């Protein structure tokens, strides 16, 4: 059956009407004439699995990545960047109910500072879209940059020389599992982290990556298919560094950092513009991305984070930058008096704010809240729950993830008089 793609849904899939059905088609653009032969149901959505673009839309552009259309990492490379930004602005308007300007990413290729590459018997690369068991074999990831080609070439040389067993995904067997590549975009420092199951790593391994600033061997001792593990050993530097303006952050294999360093600069700047007063509570503080940056600008910062290792890294970052910021282990729902802070920064996981924290906010009535969200849908719910006492004073979107449907939002809330 054939039809014309009318629009993109909120997840970036093209929507076409066929025999009174709405079929959602990956990697398509409004105006594409598509032939759909087969689809599957995912909850209430019909997603095309066998399809062809018969006549491409005029708005299309040529993807830079040779693996686009099969690799599950990017979904929108076929759209010009201004069309991607329009899609994200429209998405925020539809979900939130008000206009939000989306700040474009300063770079749209070579911007990612981390990629997690599967090392499997059917390829070294990323999951094929719509599968967990299949891998698209790659030589380079353009959204990470040229260094990925160098690391993957070295990895293949190591495998060729030493013949270690590779990950059999369906059977959960094999020694080599992932290589995680991280790069400080503003420092040029490179980390290579090999994740394996339990076993013996040939002693020559680090010599294949002698150009890296930090080399790790991590062991995943669980049956889970994850790209991290216990640190078994490292060579050269324990950390690499990244800089956002005048702030330096330490990066460890098991610590989170915003994956687009170029846009992360804009993110911390936008948050700092919205903060009021002197005392700041940084909830979900992670490694201190916001807290240390704000402390560098003269704010007195306290941070709370549930992950003890992230807290350790945040305090290291505060010490490294010689700033007045303290981070402690704690849960969002257990915070004490919020009223003693001039501004509360909220950067929750995709699930949004804990109901107990929302009740605590409504009870303590802090004057200013800066809410950083990676999920506009849960942001919408949380804004509604706070709307009895708080009004939205400003909002800005940031495209942290070019070529994907994801968008970050920063909202400033003020206590109603």
Q: What is the set of active-site residues?
A: 374, 408
Distance separating the N- and C-terminal Cα atoms of the chain: 58
Distance, CA of 5 to CA of 13 (rounded, Å): 10
Ordered strands of the 123-127 beta sheet: 135-137, 123-127, 114-120, 176-183, 190-196, 214-219, 230-236
What is the DSSP annotation of 212-242?
A: SSEEEEEE--SSS--S--EEEEEEE-S-EEE
Contact 144, 110 (CB under 8 A): yes
Q: Helix (H, G, I), strand (E, B), or coil: what is residue 195?
A: strand
Distance, CA of 344 to CA of 29 (rounded, Å): 40
How many angstroms separate the Cα of 129 from the Cα of each of 22, 79, 149, 169? 20, 18, 21, 15
Closest CA to 64 of 119, 12, 109: 109
Residue 407: CA atoms inside 13 Å, Cβ hemisphere, count? 32
Contact 10, 95 (CB under 8 A): yes
Secondary structure tally for the chain: helices H, strands E:
7, 23
């Amino acid at each position: 059956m054939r039809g014309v793609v009318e629009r993109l849904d909120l997840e970036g899939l093209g929507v076409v009407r066929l025999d009174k059905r709405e079929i959602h088609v990956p990697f398509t653009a409004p105006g594409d004439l598509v032939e759909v032969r087969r689809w599957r149901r995912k909850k209430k959505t019909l997603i095309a699995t066998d399809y062809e673009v018969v006549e491409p839309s005029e708005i299309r552009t040529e993807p830079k990545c040779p693996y686009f259309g099969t690799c599950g990492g990017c979904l929108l490379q076929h759209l010009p960047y201004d069309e991607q930004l329009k899609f994200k602005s429209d998405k925020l308007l539809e979900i939130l109910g008000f206009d939000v300007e989306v700040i474009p990413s300063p770079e749209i290729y070579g911007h990612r500072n981390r990629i997690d590459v599967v090392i499997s018997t059917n390829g070294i690369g990323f999951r094929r879209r719509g599968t967990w068991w299949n891998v698209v074999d790659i030589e380079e990831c353009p959204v990470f940059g040229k260094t990925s080609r160098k690391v993957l070439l070295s990895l293949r040389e190591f495998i060729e020389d030493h013949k270690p067993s590779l990950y059999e995904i369906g059977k959960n067997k094999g020694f080599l599992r992932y290589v995680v590549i991280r790069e400080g975009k503003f420092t040029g420092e490179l980390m290579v982290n090999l994740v394996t199951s339990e076993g013996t790593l040939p002693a020559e391994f680090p010599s294949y990556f002698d150009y890296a600033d930090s080399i790790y061997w991590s062991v995943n001792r669980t049956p889970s298919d994850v790209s991290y593990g216990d640190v078994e050993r490292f060579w050269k530097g324990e950390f690499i560094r990244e800089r956002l303006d005048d702030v330096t952050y330490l990066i460890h294999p098991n610590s989170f950092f915003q994956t687009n360093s170029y846009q992360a600069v804009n993110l911390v700047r936008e948050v700092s513009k919205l903060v009021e007063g002197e005392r700041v509570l940084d909830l979900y503080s992670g490694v201190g991305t916001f807290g240390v940056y704000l402390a560098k600008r003269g704010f007195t910062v306290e941070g709370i984070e549930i992950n003890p290792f992230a807290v350790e890294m945040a305090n290291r970052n505060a010490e490294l930058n010689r700033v007045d910021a303290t981070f402690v282990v704690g849960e969002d729902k257990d915070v004490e008096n919020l009223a003693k802070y001039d501004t509360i920064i909220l950067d929750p996981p995709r699930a949004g704010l804990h109901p107990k924290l929302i009740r605590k906010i409504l009870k303590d009535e802090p004057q200013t809240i800066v809410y950083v969200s990676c999920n506009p849908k849960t942001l919408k719910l949380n804004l509604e729950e706070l709307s009895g006492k708080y009004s939205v004073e400003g909002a800005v979107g940031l495209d942290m993830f070019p070529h994907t449907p994801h968008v970050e939002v920063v909202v400033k809330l003020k206590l109603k008089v």
